[in-house]
Structure 1
Amino acid sequence: MQQDPDLIARSANELVGDLNPQQAEAVQYRGPALLIGAGAGSGKTRVLTRRIAYILSQFGAWPSQILAITFTNKAAAEMRERLAALIGPVAERMWVSTFHSACVRILRRDGKSIGLDPGFSIYDTADCERLVKLIAADLNIDVKRYTPRAILSRISDYKNNLEGWQDKLREQAPDYRPGQRGYQIGNPGNAEALYAVVYAEYQHRLAAANAVDFDDLIGRTVELLRRDPAVADYYRHKFRYILVDEYQDTNHAQYVLVRELAGVDAAKGAPVPADMPYAGREGQAWITVVGDSDQSIYAFRGADIRNIQDFEQDFPNAKTIMLEQNYRSTQTILDAANAVISNNEGRKPKKLWTALGKGEPIVGYAADNAQQEAAWIAGEIARLHGEEAIAYSDMAVMYRANAQSRSLEEALINAGLPYQLVGGTRFYERREIKDAIAYLQAIVNPADDVNMRRILNVPKRGLGARAEAIVVGYADMNAIPFYAAVERLDSIEGVPTRTANQLRAFRDLMDGLRKFAADPANRPSDIVAEVLSKSGLLDELRKSEDPQDASRVENLSQLQSVAAEFEQNTPDATLAGFLETTALVADSDQLPGEGEDSGKVTLMTLHTAKGLEYPVVFLTGMEQGTFPHSRAMEDASELSEERRLAYVGITRAKRRLYVTRAAVRAQWGQANEMMPSQFLDEIPSDLIDWKRREAGVERMRANWSNGGFDDDEFGGWGDDDFGGTTYGGSTYGSSYGSSESASGSSYGSGTRRFGAGAGSRSRGGSAGGSRSGSAGSNGRSGYGSRSYGSSGSSYGYGSGSGSSSRSGRVTTRRVAPKTGGSASSAAPGAPRDNGLNIADFHVGDRITHDMYGLGTVVDTLDKGAKSVITVDFGSAGTKRLMLNRAPIEKL
């Protein structure tokens, strides 16, 4: 086969000479199916790019025959850069993109056969929610009971599983016809019927607007390949080598898409020579997937870990090569990650190792509360930057849920430390940016009702809900798009004169902008400038006296700069292409590139951190109910996913890892006592250097000797009210002042009140306390937490400057006296040691619990006085119990 003249010839030795044996084997493998099990930091991107270069130079393939799929634009750009360095400018002509970007290209070119015009709009989450709200209003759906976000989540599930709206409607509401007006759902409590009706109407309106959402990009491409044999044959002949990164994160629709593009099922039964040295024009394309089942953390988005676990079953002739040498982290960090993930069952054995040496121990810190945890982290960041000259951009703070960021942000602000928050309000989701982009979308696709209706009265031009309703009514009656009704304004009866004049002005504005955009001489940045000027968006913000509007003007200026940058990087740049780029941006795409110093500490969720790495990482909120999340406590598969998330978090660290927890964390306005995360138990104790092993409240409790509560256990009581006994009828809180760490350093934390109602008092503690309270995901207390009452008085037990704190709480509750002893012999509320010994418990033993009933021991963990047993209580679920505190009896 003749080589592409732009392709740089590379010898096999040049491509594999500096790789380790497993990497070299993966690069050179010849065969129809290859799974590269790439552990964290094992150089998978390097292997993937070298394999592409090897296929081109050694297999004799053409660049156009290769499709490489990544999960983020940033990863795709990095891969293209590496390929350009290896094989020259021909890399720019290859399909190296995300799933969604590849599908957009396919649908723009061939979507007409399934009813998609090439200029279709791509709706983001905000657009989709707006569309669902419009549908809910027309169908008289209670959006408080069925929120647009919940409805969209269900629709997304349907699409990820390739369940069409026709099938769902046939099953649940066969009498409904999309586009039908005045329909009443027979039983509003029938959620499945409601979801089916909204799904059908949602797809109907997307089609009418010539629009798709993100899930459609995958699902409709699968539909296209299945419904149009000519299109399917074109892409199956075009792509002979398909390489997919992060395969463990694929959902069912993406899994099917890969098989359709590769022609796996179409090629079944076709003879393929066993010794074939490359993928021929006929038969199945050669598939290479790269991934790590230990890093599958997106089940909530529909990712199916079985796709990678069952790869060898899906492709019987598949070869699996494991990459275990890590080039990122120290051995201490890897030992911690290996120890945690080894507790997951059903995984392929893999143990990461490195030649980088043991490195420094993991640093642990147990704070009294979330504010003290954040203050200590801020202090440590300041120390690392000041004393060790570690750049702020080399440090990242990671947490399980966005709600945890509040106390961290406050601490960094108070300490004067620069930071960037990833996963907050994204640039393209800001109101003024959404307004500007809605104009651009409406210019490109006038049938886009959602965006056209958004800008009808933005900025305010006297076209309110009444005017919109008049146009909508005419559009519905004539089955035409919203803007088509505006264009037929003169045919609409009963329009007030003032409203008609404003609608004509809007129509003239949009027609003028469309003509300006249609002129080939006007580039995307010119069109953005014209829209901002002629629409009045910029003038309205400039005239405003609201100081926040000044920053909104800067954001609009940034949008024009983004368009100009797009022109510089894109030959033949178009407005539609610019909008496509902005629609496909992910959170992680907004982070600075490798080697680029942002000058800021990065705060992000663990899910966002996937694929990133930092010299210093702080893993926060390591408590039962926080991380692992409370939802995972009674679901083995969810707990396994949480453990994979912990593995991802640990392996983001290159040189130093910190693990921190809070003894008390606020949820829904209540202070909850939190037990240490089981993931901390799973890390060998000799790997962690605890600067403060126990919080003040825990040290105080440990000093109490007898009597008191029997509820201090991992399996927490939540809101179960202890069988009707009120907990916290009178509550005495504690405020935390300075706490002396094991190393002798003193870190301040603000005053903290527990369960203080009206008229509560606080005494002691340090000045400058920060406000408390962060919302959880539901109204229940977290797993492993104990909830304090919301009434009564709160009294602080602070510490003076430089003294060791005795932070704690005292609560009253009716407790039966122990046999042979006095109930008054111990401090009120002191935890009871039930005298049980871990040596007496074994897997399979039967026990009875005062609350959960009969159970079977399924695991034991010898931690001395803090030993833990895991018990399966059947319908009550599996619980982890602190042995010496749990109200249990061995049978």
Structure 2
Amino acid sequence: MRYIADLHIHSPFSRATSKAGNLQGLATWARVKGIHLVGTGDFTHPGWFSQLKKQLVPAEPGFFKLKDQAIPPPLPQMTPAALPCRFLLTAEISSIYKRHGAVRKVHNLLYVPDFASAERINSVLAGIGNIESDGRPILGLDSRDLLEILLERAPEGFLVPAHIWTPWFSLFGSRSGFNTIEECYGDLTPHVFALETGLSSDPGMNRLIPALDRFALISNSDCHSPGKLGREANIFHTDFSFFALREALKNPLTGAFAGTIEFYPEEGKYHADGHRNCRVCLEPSETRKIGAICPVCGRPLTVGVLHRVMELAERSEPYYPPGSPAVHSLIPLPEVLGEILGAGPATKGVMALYARVIDRFGSEFNLLLDTPVAEINLLSPVLGEAVARIRTGRVIRTPGYDGEFGVIRVFAEGEREELSGQISLFAGKKPTPSAKKKASCLSLPEKKPSLAADLPKAPRRPNPEQLAAITSKAETILVAAGPGTGKTFTLVARIEHLLSAEQARPEEMVAITFTNRAAREMQERLHRDLGDTARTIFVGTFHAYCLALLRQETPDIAVIGEDGRDLYLRKVFPGLAGAEHRLLKKQLAGHVDQLNRGTLPADADLPDLLTRYLASLAPNRAIDLDLVIPQCVERLRNDSAFFEKITGRMAHLFVDEFQDLNHPQYQLIMLLGKQARVFAIGDPNQAIYGFRGSDLTLFQRFRKKPDVTTLALIRNYRSTPAIIDGAAALIRRNRQSGDTQLVAESASATLLEWHQAASAHAEADFIVRRIEEELGGINSLSRHTRQSTGQARSFADFAVLYRLSQLAEPIAEALHRKGIPFQLVGATPFYLKSALKVAGHFLLASAPDAGLGEHLQMIANLSGVGEATISLLEKELPLRCPDFYRAALALPLPAGTATNIRKMGETLENFRQAAEHGLAFSLAEAMPGLGINPQGDEARRLLQLANAFGNDLQAFCEHLRQNALATVYDARAEAVALMTMHAAKGLEFPVVFLAGLEEEILPCSIANLHSDMEEERRLFYVAMTRAQEHLVLSAAASRTVFNRTAAHRVSRFIEEIPASLLRETFQPLSKRRQVSGRQLQLF
């Protein structure tokens, strides 16, 4: 069967699409155009997918048809041929990610034969990003990984790279693509067998590149309204089924893939090089002469498809292997009729004539491809002449560039006047001249310099200051290291130097950090450089180190954290009333605070309730998490044998973030330093944890010790001069500021950006708009694309920081509306919310090392398990209960309760065993028994997370535990980071937004959260210096915080930044442009 297929379209759920693009509208226009098979587009969008399932029924294998076959004509007096219209499930994914050190923006098309395959793919993608915001979802997903998902979840489906030459969003795009297909899809490249050429290229251009010879080159409309169907299409001569179509593309020289219907490539809006706003349009040779920099604005030109093809071409003429599909270059019929009448293609007169032509010839493609010219001449000789010229390529071409469509004309200007008599007979009136003309390209003015300025890379070899710290012979060293000066590099290099110089053995080294994230980073660097030698170096937090010491003699000691304290108190003090619980917690918090600040008198008389609690810990082989470090210090101080054992095997102690030490941590370092050489590093200007007991004076006290050698790192490799100078001017206002003056190694002249919005929501919109601009647009329709900075960015390059977590909501909502992926650091994890909470508890209880509290949280959801049962289990079972369910069933429980607990134990055990073959599959099997629909959006997200851990249940549970109180930053995620300024400590991003810079918020004095002014200034300093290339500061004139709406003045800290470093940005005052459902016009 010979049939025509348009396999790439978009639904009304995509942006800038027509509401008429529903299934009925697509079927109607498919008949008008002469198309037998149409891609559905957008099956990833839940709303559109629901409509597809309701309105389509299976037809031929892998194809679908409308349940309701009553298809009205799109225009009056139009009766197209009654072609069988079928649908094929398709979707387009926009991937923005980093690969091989560069930002990539690639669009891929997915094709599947059935709804089950689409559902499986959707379940995975829903766990990666927001698939509801746009019919073409934007995901931080590598194209290679997307292909792997397709092959695993829909093995009968196939992937086609979309419009492979589009500059901004494609496989070979000049702005964000690759040079070879293997670079993009890696080991899975053999599974790609077809490429979509796009409107701006044709098969001839692609056949200049030998590497593309094996691929089928397909062409589609990528239409956003049904009237634009068939701008490009494919011709097949094979069985009418999904599987025959797929085989025809796999083997494109057999004749089954018979041909393509093409735009003239010059008509595509990215064919030539140029800048639309600057009215600069160039041929590739002209672009190369001026270094691809716009001579008007000084920014990089949008390099077009022709230029990019010539860069990769290895032939001077296209090569078509025998049996290659035919190529038919056409002009859409409304454009032809519009040219004949001298009117726009969508005007009323042209569309009326279009209806008459379709009614006469049955379909547009029948007229343009198959109807003899002599037969067309019977209706109109001028139309017959136009079709004859189109079929033989005798047309006049003006190329499109930088998003502006080109113009293809059939007749020269003089010919229209000569043919006016024939036109009059055809249309009933003489033509009127069209007022709209294609602007000609300007001559080249004097070239302006580029605005881009690269930041320096941190040197692989240490600079003189770093080298002095790395190689110092001093016994005790304190390094003052400002932000971006290579603190971690220097610390790791010091360890490696000592090992290489044989001055120490790895097992004699201890490196203490403040966060698990910092510890992981240091471990990774050491392992990368030292291999297995790094395994015997202890690298961890203060808590981890002290707990490791204490567990040497009490391996099974239970740690009582905040989440387990209530359980412990109920178990050890069953008669304690609720008020006493709360009082004890308050007394414990005060006690810990005094210990951390060093204000607890040696002979302090503790409250009776607190004394009883502290005395209960040792007999129960437990320790309070907040007392791990003080108890370790006490043990080292009072137990000489323990002290000798620990310090006897330690030669070198390394301490990170020394400025954040509290008194027990400082005492620990002083004790260990009696026997070991100490290398401490930190920055007094970044001391931001005074609210939890850190004491900046300890840094100064240590510095003043006579045996301490003080060094400094002053070269900043992270930020621009404006960021460094602005932060320095700010921090100099502090009485306790460090005396080290940073020197920015960057030569960038970029200023800080400042914006004040009317409200928090307006501020959020501004931030999202600026993210779009910096990204260079998030899709090919983005109105911000042309305002790109010229610097390639991915979602992970952006962070939005704020003083209070309450400020995140409007920003998160604005990002969600735009479909921009983000990670909200510090939020309650999704798997412990609402309906998924049961699954979260189930997984935590399934961990091999699950404690009593985690098991009790799980069974508390079971029928028949009430307060009495929980109280009994709390009282009778130990805190660490490896065989919880057997021990629980040994207790006197009601029969029904015991049965439910036994069943849950069996379910958990079955899950553990099944997890050995894959966590995601086993969890999906368990979900129905927990009352959870595995197809729900959040459930699918959890399954995707589980899938990332393969069959490693322990690692998965540890990840869930670490995020149980609040989500932590994941550097692997291709997403914009939203987090508090405190949470951003130790991180860096190319582009940083600091939001909510208002009095009462920063410095913070709202809702009784009064803070130390100098520490608030240090916090702002830390936030500013997270930025590498671009820092955007913003505030709102009015904001609602803690349920109180009030006007806010700009933070005093903004005034402390020199005005010469700030560039104020204003929100556009014009009305927000409405998104039109119409496709861009060709003329």
TM-score calculated relative to the size of structure 1: 0.60
The count of corresponding residues between Structure 1 and Structure 2 is 602
Structure-2 residue corresponding to 1:251? 662
One-letter identity of the residue aligned with 2:1030: R
One-letter identity of the residue aligned with 2:929: E
Q: For 1:66, which of 487, 509, 523 is the aligned residue?
A: 509
Q: For 1:615, which of 990, 994, 1007 is the aligned residue?
A: 990
State the alpha-carbon separation in 2 of the partners of residues 258 and 419 from structure 1: 39
Structure-2 residue corresponding to 1:464? 866
State the alpha-carbon separation in 2 of the partners of residues 119 and 474 from structure 1: 18
Q: For 1:502, which of 897, 916, 939 is the aligned residue?
A: 897
One-letter identity of the residue aligned with 1:653: A
| 1:470 Cα deviation after fit | 4.6
Q: 1:97 to 1:427 in 2, by over 3 A?
A: farther
Q: 1:16, 1:24 within 8 Å by CA — same for their partners in 2?
A: no
State the alpha-carbon separation in 2 of the partners of residues 205 and 537 from structure 1: 39
Q: For 2:1016, which of 642, 664, 667 is the aligned residue?
A: 642
Structure-2 residue corresponding to 1:404? 807
Structure-1 residue corresponding to 2:352? none
Structure-2 residue corresponding to 1:128? 565
Q: 1:474 to 1:167 in 2, by over 3 A?
A: farther
1:799-810, aligned counterparts within 5 Å?
none
Q: 1:372, 1:748 within 8 Å by CA — same for their partners in 2?
A: no
State the alpha-carbon separation in 1 of the partners of residues 966 and 656 from structure 2: 16
Q: 1:463, 1:503 within 8 Å by CA — same for their partners in 2?
A: no
Q: 2:829, 2:963 within 8 Å by CA — same for their partners in 1?
A: no
Q: 1:138 to 1:454 in 2, by over 3 A?
A: farther
One-letter identity of the residue aligned with 2:563: A
State the alpha-carbon separation in 1 of the partners of residues 964 and 709 from structure 2: 32
Q: Which structure 1 segments of 5+ residues have no match?
A: 1-14, 113-117, 174-196, 265-283, 567-574, 693-740, 750-765, 768-891
Q: For 1:157, which of 584, 590, 593 is the aligned residue?
A: 593
Q: For 2:526, which of 77, 83, 87 is the aligned residue?
A: 83
Whether 1:354 aligns to 2:770 is no
| 1:207 Cα deviation after fit | 5.2
State the alpha-carbon separation in 2 of the partners of residues 212 and 501 from structure 1: 36
State the alpha-carbon separation in 2 of the partners of residues 22 and 666 from structure 1: 47
Show CA shifts across 1:834-862 (max 9, x none). Answer: xxxxxxxxxxxxxxxxxxxxxxxxxxxxx
Structure-2 residue corresponding to 1:119? 556
CA RMSD of aligned residues (A): 4.3
State the alpha-carbon separation in 1 of the partners of residues 697 and 1046 from structure 2: 37
1:77-226, aligned counterparts within 5 Å?
77-110=520-553, 112=554, 118-128=555-565, 131=568, 138-142=575-579, 146=582, 153-154=589-590, 156-157=592-593, 160=596, 170-173=605-608, 197=609, 199-200=610-611, 203=614, 210-226=621-637
| 1:214 Cα deviation after fit | 3.4
Show CA shifts across 1:790-838 (max 9, x none). Answer: xxxxxxxxxxxxxxxxxxxxxxxxxxxxxxxxxxxxxxxxxxxxxxxxx
Q: 1:52 to 1:470 in 2, by over 3 A?
A: closer
SS of 1:665's partner is: strand
State the alpha-carbon separation in 2 of the partners of residues 376 and 454 from structure 1: 43
| 1:591 Cα deviation after fit | 3.2
Structure-2 residue corresponding to 1:591? 969
| 1:163 Cα deviation after fit | 9.0
Q: 2:932, 2:939 within 8 Å by CA — same for their partners in 1?
A: no
One-letter identity of the residue aligned with 1:611: G
Whether 1:29 aligns to 2:466 is no
Q: 2:512, 2:655 within 8 Å by CA — same for their partners in 1?
A: yes
1:559-574, aligned counterparts within 5 Å?
559=946, 562=949, 564=951
State the alpha-carbon separation in 1 of the partners of residues 889 and 1001 from structure 2: 60
Q: 1:36 to 1:540 in 2, by over 3 A?
A: same
SS of 2:666's partner is: helix
Q: 1:219 to 1:538 in 2, by over 3 A?
A: farther
| 1:411 Cα deviation after fit | 1.8
Structure-2 residue corresponding to 1:19? 462
Please say which of residues 430-439 and 43-52 is displaced more in the overlay. Answer: 430-439
Show CA shifts across 1:175-205 (max 9, x none). Answer: xxxxxxxxxxxxxxxxxxxxxx2x4565566
Whether 1:306 aligns to 2:712 is no
Whether 1:555 aligns to 2:935 is no
SS of 1:666's partner is: strand
Q: 1:306 to 1:130 in 2, by over 3 A?
A: farther
SS of 2:763's partner is: helix
SS of 1:656's partner is: strand
| 1:663 Cα deviation after fit | 1.2
Whether 1:393 aligns to 2:780 is no
Q: 1:627 to 1:301 in 2, by over 3 A?
A: same
Structure-2 residue corresponding to 1:235? 646
Q: 2:561, 2:625 within 8 Å by CA — same for their partners in 1?
A: yes
SS of 1:238's partner is: coil
Show CA shifts across 1:685-733 (max 9, x none). Answer: 11101124xxxxxxxxxxxxxxxxxxxxxxxxxxxxxxxxxxxxxxxxx
State the alpha-carbon separation in 2 of the partners of residues 290 and 52 from structure 1: 13
Show CA shifts across 1:128-180 (max 9, x none). Answer: 3565688899433349x959986774464256458999977x4333xxxxxxx
Show CA shifts across 1:99-145 (max 9, x none). Answer: 233233323322x2xxxxx23444554333565688899433349x9
State the alpha-carbon separation in 1 of the partners of residues 911 and 1054 from structure 2: 61
Show CA shifts across 1:597-619 (max 9, x none). Answer: x3321111101111111111111
TM-score calculated relative to the size of structure 2: 0.50
One-letter identity of the residue aligned with 1:171: L
Q: 1:307 to 1:564 in 2, by over 3 A?
A: farther
Q: 1:334 to 1:231 in 2, by over 3 A?
A: same
Q: 1:490 to 1:341 in 2, by over 3 A?
A: closer
Please say which of residues 579-588 and 119-128 is displaced more in the overlay. Answer: 579-588
State the alpha-carbon separation in 1 of the partners of residues 830 and 818 from structure 2: 26
Structure-1 residue corresponding to 2:364? none
Q: 1:552 to 1:108 in 2, by over 3 A?
A: farther
Q: 2:482, 2:716 within 8 Å by CA — same for their partners in 1?
A: yes
State the alpha-carbon separation in 2 of the partners of residues 528 and 372 from structure 1: 43
| 1:393 Cα deviation after fit | 1.5
Q: 1:70 to 1:329 in 2, by over 3 A?
A: same
Q: 1:231 to 1:432 in 2, by over 3 A?
A: farther
One-letter identity of the residue aligned with 2:827: G
Q: 1:333, 1:651 within 8 Å by CA — same for their partners in 2?
A: yes
State the alpha-carbon separation in 2 of the partners of residues 59 and 256 from structure 1: 29
SS of 2:551's partner is: helix
| 1:410 Cα deviation after fit | 1.7
Q: 1:151 to 1:129 in 2, by over 3 A?
A: farther
Whether 1:424 aligns to 2:799 is no
One-letter identity of the residue aligned with 2:860: N
Q: 1:172 to 1:17 in 2, by over 3 A?
A: closer
SS of 1:609's partner is: coil
State the alpha-carbon separation in 2 of the partners of residues 210 and 684 from structure 1: 58
| 1:330 Cα deviation after fit | 0.6
Q: 2:885, 2:905 within 8 Å by CA — same for their partners in 1?
A: no
State the alpha-carbon separation in 1 of the partners of residues 529 and 482 from structure 2: 24
| 1:469 Cα deviation after fit | 3.7
State the alpha-carbon separation in 2 of the partners of residues 608 and 240 from structure 1: 33
State the alpha-carbon separation in 2 of the partners of residues 558 and 164 from structure 1: 45
Show CA shifts across 1:243-289 (max 9, x none). Answer: 01111122222222222333x3xxxxxxxxxxxxxxxxxxx211111
Q: 1:513, 1:530 within 8 Å by CA — same for their partners in 2?
A: no
Q: For 1:439, which of 842, 845, 849 is the aligned residue?
A: 845
SS of 1:611's partner is: coil
Q: 1:107 to 1:135 in 2, by over 3 A?
A: closer
One-letter identity of the residue aligned with 2:593: D
Q: 1:399, 1:606 within 8 Å by CA — same for their partners in 2?
A: yes
SS of 2:1065's partner is: strand
Structure number with greater Rg is 2
| 1:240 Cα deviation after fit | 0.9
SS of 2:523's partner is: helix
Show CA shifts across 1:47-99 (max 9, x none). Answer: 11111111112252111111111223332232233223443431122112222
Q: Which structure 2 segments of 5+ residues have no match?
A: 1-457, 778-787, 1076-1083
Q: 1:439, 1:451 within 8 Å by CA — same for their partners in 2?
A: yes
State the alpha-carbon separation in 2 of the partners of residues 449 and 208 from structure 1: 18
